[in-house]
């Protein structure tokens, strides 16, 4: 497995692969990988001839009051996970490589989609996501790019960006990977102490409650999400950011639940903000 730290290196290796007629897959990550990231790499390795993973903690998607400085890092461990799961090249640039002095161009979707859910409390987050993903697409020129469905809003926004800008890449969502108790895997799970880790199960419990109510014939989105919120509020360590029912493609709120709907939630367990979602189809 090759480790590349510069844009020119990545372009050189990818160009060689494409000259041989090989397809290229990209798995963008911010590092501190877990089984969810590994599943993206395996899917890319299965579907593409050559797999590139980026390990870059992107500062432009963090606000000043967020956890950039304390975000977990372990690049050597990341490389072991990537190599074990079929990665061929790791792109591990510095901040200066991605955002050189004088950098002043950003990519932003001008619709209500990025203003929903996480965008309500993180107004600059998706501008940072779109900018770095756009750069990665331009650098790697992948045929396919793999993203986890846990970040449902991010996935929908990246797909919209790729369509709007006529990008020659297929954006593929991969299923959420969960712990045995149902908690969606996330690098931020490492912030939780044992008591908080136990309490975090309330997120998946709330999603399962919403699904059960829907399957029992309840299609009133407000009533179902209220019941989900009430369940979460029973956990003393939990503080709700949002519990919403939205269209799975547009991320806009829905009044009636259907197979196109998605339950999405963000909940603080202690000081750690966790997100999760469940599609009703």
- The residues assigned a catalytic role are 37
**Cβ contact 261:254 at 8 Å:** yes
CB 158 within 8 A of CB 151: no
Q: Kindly report the CA angle at 127 between 121 and 133, in degrees rounded to 5? A: 130
CA 201 to CA 269: how far, in whole Å? 10
Q: Reduced to 3 DSSP states, what percent helix, strand and coil does the chain have, rounded to the nearest 5?
A: 40, 20, 35
From first CA to last CA, the distance across the chain in angstroms is 38
Strands 89-91 and 50-55: parallel
Kindly calculate the radius of gyration of the chain based on its CA atoms and give it in whole angstroms.
19
d(CA 27, CA 140): 10
Exposed/middle/buried for residue 15 (C-beta within 10 Å: 0-12, 13-18, 19+): exposed
Give the whole-angstrom CA distance, residue 51 versus residue 263. Answer: 32
**152 closest CA partner among 202, 107, 118:** 118
Angle among Cα 167, 172, 175 to the nearest 5 degrees reads 160
């Amino acid at each position: 497995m090759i480790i590349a730290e510069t844009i020119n290196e990545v372009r050189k290796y990818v160009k060689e692969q494409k000259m041989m007629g090989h397809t290229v897959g990209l798995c963008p990550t911010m590092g501190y990988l877990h089984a969810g990231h590994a599943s993206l790499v395996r899917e890319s390795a299965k579907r593409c001839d050559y797999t590139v993973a980026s390990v870059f903690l992107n500062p432009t998607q963090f606000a000043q009051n967020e956890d950039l400085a304390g975000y977990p890092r372990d690049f050597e461990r990341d490389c072991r996970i990537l190599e074990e799961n079929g990665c061929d090249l790791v792109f591990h640039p510095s901040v200066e490589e991605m955002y050189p002095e004088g950098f002043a161009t950003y990519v932003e979707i001008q619709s209500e989609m990025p203003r929903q859910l996480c965008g309500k409390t993180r107004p600059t987050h998706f501008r940072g996501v779109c900018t770095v993903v756009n750069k990665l697409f331009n650098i790697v020129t992948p045929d396919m790019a793999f993203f986890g469905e846990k970040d449902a809003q991010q996935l929908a926004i990246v797909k919209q960006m790729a369509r709007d800008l006529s990008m020659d890449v297929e954006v593929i969502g991969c299923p959420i990977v969960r712990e045995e108790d149902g908690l969606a895997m996330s690098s931020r799970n490492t912030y939780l102490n044992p008591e908080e880790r136990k309490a975090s199960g309330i997120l998946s419990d709330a999603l399962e409650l919403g699904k059960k109510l829907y399957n029992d014939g309840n299609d009133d989105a407000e009533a179902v999400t209220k019941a989900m919120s009430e369940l979460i509020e029973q956990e003393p360590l939990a503080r709700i950011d949002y519990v919403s029912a939205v269209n799975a493609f547009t991320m806009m709120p829905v009044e009636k639940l259907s197979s196109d709907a998605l339950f999405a939630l963000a909940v603080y367990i202690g000081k750690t903000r966790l997100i999760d979602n469940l599609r009703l189809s």
